[in-house]
Chain A
Amino acid sequence: MSYIAKPAARHPQMPRNAIGLTPRDYEGSMSTLCAGCGHDSVTAALIQAFFELAVEPHRVVKVSGIGCSAKTPTYFVSEAHGFNSVHGRMPSVAAGANAANRELLYVGISGDGDSLSIGLGQFCHAIRRNVNMLYVLENNGVYGLTKGQFSASADIGSLSKAGVANRQGPIDPVTLALSLGATFVARSFSGDKDQLVPILMAGMRHQGFAFIDVISPCVTFNDHEGSTKSYAHTRTHMHEVVETDFVPLKAEIRTKYDEGSVKAVTLHDGSTVRLRKTDPEYDPGDRRAVLDYLGATAAEGEVATGLLYLEGTEDDMHSFENTVDAPLVNVPFDTLCPGSAVLDEIQEEWR
């Protein structure tokens, strides 16, 4: 937690993006999370991603539920509207908001309690509905604000701070999202900004529901020995399956990868995601193979990370619902209201 507010002054040498903004323009108010919280690193990565993509701050919509993760939208992009809704119900608020205004960039921040326990249903249905949004699950395996209860993502055998072992099987949001048909599924680690930033950028540009499970250790309640969501455990067992490079539209395509191991996916807006597989057997475009692979790595106690599955697609909730291209909030009332003559016609059928 920072105790001193940063001055508003900008260093003249600070980098500026395509619309003339600096990274500071994407910051929010001071974090009130514990010092060293993984969530603050995710916030920093998000700020970097917004900056890199040169997003207009007021065209971003930040949504969250309840919990430590849900507090974080106040810590980035203060010029964007944010909605700290009710526990586990952020996906429905995001779906309704997106239904009304499809032009904005929706970023949902959730936690493992919010998405995998109280809000498991809404999380699943937002995936099925394919709401066009970036959905970040800050996963620490524990309830922080209520002081350290296991969450539904705690691994079997994981020890609580008091030394009690968890006996119930975890819900893995990555395999869940894959099985429900998500077209963008990633896992990363709050401590690995280099990996996280391009994935967040790709997720923001992806058409449809982009899901990122970020292991984000809780320094207060779940960072001890015996925890499988600690910094130490994650650093030791994390295994990057694919390296992600996000190439915005019109940007020069860098050729740092050997072409043979690179899979390039063009997104809806023309930008490109380049995925370099560290394991030649891995295919991030084959849903069933990815599920098998994740099962195998999990059995070995390994945490596979990277943009694990990606399908460039035009589909989202609006294509399912066949809504007009313009945001519904901008459709003029004259177009919406049929008027008295039509009412008379309709009532002839009621006679």
Chain B
Amino acid sequence: MADHGDHGVNDFAFKVATVNGTGSASANGLLLQALFRMGIPVTGKNVFPSNIQGLPTWYEIRVNKDGYTARSPDFHLIVAMNPQSYARDIEEVVSGGWVLYDNTRELDDKFRRDDVNFIGIPLAEMCVSEFDGSRTRILMKNITYVGALVALLDIDMDVVKGMLQQKFSKKQHLMDANFKAIDMGYAYAREHYDCPLPIRLETMDATADHVMINGNTAAALGCVYAGATVGAWYPITPSTSVMDGFSQYCKRLRVDPETGKNNYCIIQAEDELAAAGMVIGASWMGARAFTPTSGPGISLMSEFIGLAYYAEIPSVFFNVQRTGPSTGMPTRTQQGDLMMCTYASHGDTKHIALFPANPKECFEFAVAAFDLAERFQTPTFLVSDLDIGMNDWMIPRLEWDDDYVPDRGKVLSAEELEEAESFYRYLDVDGDHIAYRTLPGVHPKGAYFTRGSGHDKYGRYTEGSAEYMEVVDRLLAKVNSAGDRVPEPELHQGAEPTELGMISIGGCHWAVLEARDDLAEQGLAVDYMRIRGFPFNETVERFLEQHDRVVVIEQNRDEQLRKLITIETQCPKEKLGSITYYGGQPLSKGHVLDGLAPWIPELAGGGATPGFADAASDTAVVEVAP
């Protein structure tokens, strides 16, 4: 057996390669959940095509006893169920690893590797002889490979069967079929191969305080908890499951028990432009309203975003980023919309943006987004991505403070208006750059004309230079003042600043943390800051000041975060280096370590870190002049 380092018990990754539309998703979900229930830290990443049926699809599961959840840099086992992708799948497994395949048909010699172990199981043949109907046979083939994995990886069979029982408690015939398939795969593997393999599982107790969920569902639940009542949307991958989740939880939690009517309104719009208009209309009325979309949607909504910025209408936009530009790779992840979200629309605009790194923050930041939008009366973006939004993440349990009171911002009530001598919509009476707002239908004195055309501080139409500038200058000061209210950057540093610092954002975080720990083990300390909100505040400035050189790690080609920092802070451009990866997959620590090599002499000598040859080829590094 070839060397596979310290990988083995509860520390390895495997990948299931199947055909889209064959029902493998539920089998893979079963696997992931079983490992989670065994108390072992685990993550699942679904690498799927923009297709309904027929194209290759993969599901990656990483098991890590230390709790690292970034994408695994390499795979020790491939469950190769798709002959279309045999070549690339088998090539990807590490030397000394395993390939589980369906040997109903002989594996072509061209796919054979001498340094890999092949585990053939006649899945199709067994399913054809044991089950009737082509659909059942296809579905049960998936469950049969799960059975084989139970034996090969030493998964707890009671846990797996318990889950099947739970799932099919009301469908006895499905439960029987699933049990039969599981047992069949299990028995075959035990009979023909040494079980378990050196990569295997042992029950732990590391997931008790955790849950397994994707970011879109968590964000949707955040909207329910924030008290959002109007959701408008146009379907787009990878954000659709935000509205699916909102709809599902509203049906369960927001139907008036007496009348059976809904305390919410979800409108599927004709396009993203209309979705944005609906959010703005509802927010103007005083509802908490939101729209989930992805980059192409933000492009279309940009005209309305400028209107909401200038007319000062709170509005919440979820951008679950995918790979652009244009249609790009709609089922792959990226952080390519950082610039677009922070400055969306024509003219001088600037927007509040929040950058969650996992589903827990999707939930928390969703609530924060409504508070910020209403406090600052401006569009607010929750900028997530496909990896966070659609993949299954193990996260600490969500918490809710029952004393939470939504921040509805500066809104005048009917009583306040009755007593007020005058009301002018855009007048900064408190000196905090935020004017008072009124809602339609409340009081005749609150009426004003909302417009995207030039207006003065009294809300009147103007084409006058001074009157126009007075308002837009206040807008800038207002949005900048939100820097102290967005989630604080997360700092990872020692007592004394290190010479080199790292900055990253969103889902990059987990790979950066893992790489940083690797470096620490080698005696190399590197300070690290994760940005969680925009506009930037003093904490960001200070981190930049304290470090001689700072590397910005992000998932886009154009160094958008690095550029934002150069635009929005005092930091000299020369001080900032960049590590970018923009190939569409989640970041892994190899990308970070390889990218850091030019800055860390101890890393530079050996070139790429062992085991990360693949990552090196697609990571772009910008060197900072010494």
Contact = CB atoms under 8 A, between A and B. Distances in A.
Contacts of B263: 323-324, 328, 331, 335-336
A97 B474 CA distance: 27
Contacts of B150: none
B277 A99 contact: no
A84 B452 contact: yes
A347 B397 contact: yes
Nearest to A334: B227
Contacts of A342: 253
A266 interface: no
Interface string A65-98: 0000000011000111111111001111111111
Contact of B261 (A103, A325, A335): A325
B450 interface: yes
- Chain B interface size, as a band, is 35 or more
Interface in B417-463: 438-444, 446-453, 461
Interface in B379-427: 397-402, 404-406
Given A79-B447, A337-B225, A339-B400, A324 B262 contact: yes
- Residue from B212, B249, B398, B401 having most chain A Cβ neighbours under 10 A: B398
Given A325-B261, A351-B36, A103 B280 contact: no
A164 interface: no
B303 A103 contact: no
What does DSSP make chain B's interface, helix, strand, loop or mixed? mixed
B450 A340 contact: no
- Residue from B249, B447, B461 having most chain A Cβ neighbours under 10 A: B447
Contact of B259 (A63, A81, A324, A340): A324
What does DSSP make chain A's interface, helix, strand, loop or mixed? helix
Contacts of B406: 333
A92 B234 CA distance: 13
A97 B281 contact: yes
Interface stretch (A39-47, A53-61, A274-282, A286-294): A53-61
A93 B261 CA distance: 23
A58 to B, nearest CB: 4
A97 B262 contact: no
B285 interface: yes
A101 interface: yes
A96 B400 contact: no
Nearest to B414: A58
B18 interface: no
A350 B207 CA distance: 12
Nearest to B417: A58
Nearest to B451: A84
Contact of B441 (A59, A78, A129): A59
A74 B230 CA distance: 28
A343 B400 contact: yes
Contact of B289 (A83, A96, A125): A96
A168 B289 CA distance: 41
A121 interface: yes
Nearest to B210: A351
A328 B277 contact: no
Contact of A340 (B400, B444, B449): B400
A99 B265 contact: yes
Nearest to A58: B444
A81 B452 contact: no
Contacts of B286: 100-101, 329
B256 interface: yes
A52 B267 CA distance: 34
Given A78-B447, A93-B280, A94-B281, A58 B442 contact: yes
Nearest to A90: B277
- Residue from B279, B281, B283, B398 having most chain A Cβ neighbours under 10 A: B281
B266 A96 contact: no
A162 interface: no
Given A323-B264, A342-B253, A85 B278 contact: no
Contacts of B253: 338, 342
A336 B399 contact: no
B211 interface: yes
B241 to A, nearest CB: 14
A271 interface: no
A336 B370 CA distance: 14
Given A89-B304, A340-B400, A95 B452 contact: no
Given A92-B278, A99-B267, A347 B449 contact: no
B101 interface: no
A95 B442 contact: no
B447 A350 contact: no
B441 A81 contact: yes
B402 A340 contact: yes
B235 to A, nearest CB: 15
Given A82-B449, A93-B280, A324-B263, A329 B227 contact: no
A322 interface: yes
Nearest to A74: B449
B307 interface: yes
A194 B125 CA distance: 82
21 contacts: A83-B451, A86-B303, A89-B304, A92-B269, A92-B281, A93-B277, A93-B278, A95-B274, A96-B277, A96-B278, A96-B281, A99-B281, A100-B230, A100-B287, A100-B289, A125-B269, A329-B229, A336-B263, A337-B404, A342-B253, A347-B398
Given A89-B273, A91-B277, A122-B273, 15 more contacts: A81-B440, A82-B448, A84-B450, A85-B307, A86-B304, A92-B269, A96-B232, A96-B278, A99-B232, A101-B285, A323-B265, A324-B263, A328-B265, A337-B404, A340-B401
Interface of B: 36-37, 211-213, 221, 224-230, 232, 249, 253-254, 256, 259-267, 269-271, 273-287, 289, 303-304, 307, 397-402, 404-406, 438-444, 446-453, 461
For the complex of A and B, list the 5 residue pairs with the smallest distance between their C-beta atoms, beginning with the closest.
A92-B277, A96-B281, A96-B278, A100-B287, A81-B440
